[in-house]
Amino acid sequence: MKEINAFNVCFIGRTGNGKSSLINSLWNVGFATDPLKSCTKQLISVTLMDNQIPGYEAVCVYDTPGIGEFSSDTIYERYYEHAVSVADCIVLVTTFDRTDAPAQRLLMKLKQYINTNKDVRFVIALNHIDSNIITDSQGQYVPWDEEKNAPSEKCEENIQERVLLLKEKFKDRFLPFDVIPVCAVRNYGINDLKTILYNK
């Protein structure tokens, strides 16, 4: 069998955090995204020819079912284990929503499956930074500066607060990591994320 030298990236996160949208933004794959129902029930991995990463000819993307979707992830546990064990890079997709315990639990469980013979990277992508569901119904919070296509000042504050919180919550639980704020649908932060993913 002729194997292909692929850089394996595994995406993990709660349903609704936009893993699939993020993957689409990065590689234009065309994964299904639907706000109402969870889509990633099939175990999807896609291999794309991509020579942007030195030493690799392709990228193999593992999209996983949302954490917290199922009360006992038994069927999918094996898939997570497999995806993590082959991963060169693991991306946790999170949002401002501070229910981080399911992700903490999952990563702590999966830590043992990381391939210690490789230099595996871990990145936390803070998605949906343009969301304004975080304030109440009377909020005058304007999260996005449309002109600059960037977060507003107040949003930047929120981002920094969230980044600090994430650094605290995931410190020493899995691997060392960076937090990259992104907004998949607005194409914000995607290049920064790519740089980190590809940087060897």
Partner 1 sequence: MVEKKDARFLVNQILDKVLEKGKISDDDKKVVNQKIEEEIIERPFRVAVIGQSGVGKSTTLNSIFGLTNYTSNLAEGTSEIIEKVFPMRDGFNLSLYDMPGLNNDVDKDAKYEEMYKQILPGCDVVVYVVNSHSRDFGEDCRILKEVVLPICNKNEIKDNLILAFNKIDTIGENIDPNDPELKWNIVENIPTEKLKKAIKTKLDDITDKLLDEDLIGSDEGLKPHQVVFYSAVFNYNLKDFLLAITKAGKRGWIWPATVGFERIGKWSDAKIG
180 - beta bridge partners?
125
Q: Are 131 and 197 in contact (CB under 8 A)?
A: no
User: Which is nearer to partner 1, 5 or 137 (by Cβ)?
Assistant: 137
| Contacting residues for 21 by C-beta, under 8 A, at least 6 apart | 31, 33, 127, 184, 185
User: Which is nearer to partner 1, 117 or 137 (by Cβ)?
Assistant: 137
Rg (CA), the chain: 17
Q: How far is the CB of 122 from partner 1 (least distance, A)?
A: 17
46 - beta bridge partners?
61
What Å distances lie between residue 186 and 101, 127, 183, 193, CA to CA?
28, 11, 5, 14
Q: Are 12 and 106 in contact (CB under 8 A)?
A: yes
Q: How far is the CB of 38 from partner 1 (least distance, A)?
A: 6
Closest C-alpha to 14, from 79, 96, 75, 83: 96
Q: How far is the CB of 135 from partner 1 (least distance, A)?
A: 6
What's the rounded Cα separation, in Å, for the pair 161 and 121? 23
| Chain residues that interact with partner 1, rule: CB under 8 A | 14-16, 35-36, 38, 66-72, 96-102, 104-105, 108, 133-137, 158, 161-162, 169
Helix (H) or strand (E) holding 80: helix 74-86
Q: How far is the CB of 20 from partner 1 (least distance, A)?
A: 13
Q: How far is the CB of 128 from partner 1 (least distance, A)?
A: 11
User: Which is nearer to partner 1, 118 or 171 (by Cβ)?
Assistant: 171
Q: How far is the CB of 12 from partner 1 (least distance, A)?
A: 13
Q: Are 115 and 85 in contact (CB under 8 A)?
A: yes
User: Which is nearer to partner 1, 35 or 55 (by Cβ)?
Assistant: 35
Distance from the Cα of residue 153 to its chain's centroid: 24
User: Which is nearer to partner 1, 98 or 200 (by Cβ)?
Assistant: 98
User: Which is nearer to partner 1, 6 or 110 (by Cβ)?
Assistant: 110
